[in-house]
Amino acid sequence: MDSTASRLARLKAEGGRLAAMPLRDLLAADPGRAHRMALRVGPLYANFARQHVDDDALHALHAVAQASGMDKAIHSLLQGEPVNRSEGRPALHSALRSAPCSTLATPTVVHATEAATAARQRMAGLAATLRGSSVTDLVHVGIGGSDLGPRLALDALRDFGDGRFRIHFLSNVDAHAATRLLAGLDPARTAAVLVSKSFGTQETLLNGQLVCEWLGGGERLYAVSANPSRAEAFGIDPARVLPMWDWVGGRYSLWSAVGFPVLLALGEEGFARMLAGAEAMDRHFLEAPADANLPLLHALIAVWNRNVEGHATQAVLPYDERLRLLPAYLQQLVMESLGKRVDHEGRAIDHDTVPVLWGGAGTDCQHSFFQALHQGTQVVPAEFVGVVRPDHAHAEQHRVLLSHLLAQMEGLANGDVGATPAQHSPGNRPSTLLLLDRLDPCSFGSLLAFYEHSVYAQSVLWGINAFDQFGVELGKRLAGGLLPVLEGRAEAQDPVSAALVAEIRARG
């Protein structure tokens, strides 16, 4: 049987052929490469010319995708089949942003889309009520997928709101975060929304209780949950509880009622434009041929860098301050989805999967970790994200920003001989450019959906499930056992934990 490992192994022959051909030679030998290895989908342009692949390598990668059943897998995802095999359910985040009459529709998708449409109508009604109130601030309480997406969206799209509300985020169970946040707010003019799929997330419930007490009760508390009875037991009026569903994972849930503060800040039209941008990418992923499918090409390059080039990390470098939270968002999307060590049948895999993803906003990060990118011993593939047209009037500063983006990519690829060994930069370090025409709700939605689909395509190539996250539960379970130890009601079973608890209690 043609296994994932054997398919990936065949790619290494292509890697061996290219090993002696640095990027500068690939570029010099192929003048048309910069145009041929680029794709545009609506407002998003991508250029892969500085990745260490050539046409033959790309052909081999596409053969792997075909052998992996990629075309069927894409249809299975977007038509609501149970692609989350370990939990026996579909992953219907794309249904949250499609119309009920969508050509993507199957009965499963239609049902999900109708539920999402009804939820958006309720979101709009609650937003209208808040707009008619004296509330000026909303505290969004959630963690992980219940926090990162809305936090990124509002930081990126703040300029497209009317400024009627100030939105604040509270995720960390460390009460320093809550006390600092609430110290600057007026409880008489503040509302809060608690977001938890199970409504059993310890950090969210503790922070929610703290905020509820600070507000003086639950009259201005809202909730988003797949377990409304728990939210109601917490003291939240059922009329202020918005739905989630088990067919949408937290890290894919921005498009649902989890995005309530985004709708509140941007208005219904702005939120709808974000969904429309994502839906356009859904259609592209479904309908584009393999050699012109942008999320698929991105996924193939990611697999090449991980399994052929052997790169264990990946840097994401947004050259737009409004996208500064993108690396943190992608850390969850990519590493929670692809951090798996067994296949769909529960068998241990014998190939590498997810790289460690990290990054920061340019130009700030040029003055921190770029030294290691250019001259360190470990090659780190870099993904640069830029915006052509800014939403400010300072043209010279934007030209300087873009000049730095382009210069860093050029330097990573071509290197520099230098006058001394210490000044030598070897180059041959791969990078991709993602370029938005403008950062607005539509292009932002397209960008995030693009990343979602790339992650899914990578999971298909690796034969793993992108939609479970059982590893996340281990730490939660262990913490539940250690809390009574810290309280003095139990003894730690692990000897190191016992020693550490003793030190904490002695100093507390």
| Positions marked active-site | 336, 367, 476
Query: Is the Cβ–Cβ distance between 115 and 243 less than 8 Å?
Result: yes
For residue 489, the tally of other CB atoms under 10 A from its CB is 8
Query: Is the Cβ–Cβ distance between 11 and 402 less than 8 Å?
Result: no
Tell me the C-alpha distance between 18 and 414, whole Å.
Answer: 16
**Dihedral sign of CA atoms 62, 89, 144, 194 in order:** positive
- CA 404, distance to chain mean position in Å, is 25
For residue 200, the tally of other CB atoms under 10 A from its CB is 12
SS3 of 3-21: the string is: CHHHHHHHHHHHHHHHCCC
For β-strands 44-47 and 38-41, DSSP reports them as antiparallel
Residue 427: both structure tokens together: 């180059």
Tell me the C-alpha distance between 220 and 15, whole Å.
Answer: 59
Under DSSP, the state recorded for 134 is S
Tell me the C-alpha distance between 433 and 436, whole Å.
Answer: 10
Burial class (CB in 10 A: 0-12, 13-18, 19+), 310: exposed
Is 2 in a helix, a strand, or coil? Answer: coil
Is 170 in a helix, a strand, or coil? Answer: strand
Residue 97: both structure tokens together: 């942003």
Tell me the C-alpha distance between 340 and 354, whole Å.
Answer: 8
- CA 181, distance to chain mean position in Å, is 25
Tell me the C-alpha distance between 490 and 442, whole Å.
Answer: 53
Tell me the C-alpha distance between 258 and 464, whole Å.
Answer: 26
Query: Is the Cβ–Cβ distance between 458 and 330 less than 8 Å?
Result: no
Q: How many CA atoms lie within 13 A of 96 on its CB side?
A: 27
Radius of gyration over alpha carbons of the chain, in Å? 24
- CA 252, distance to chain mean position in Å, is 8
* Nearest one of 70, 35, 68, 63 to 49, comparing CA atoms: 35
* Nearest one of 450, 453, 447, 475 to 466, comparing CA atoms: 453
SS3 of 357-376: the string is: EEECCCCHHHHCCHHHHHHC
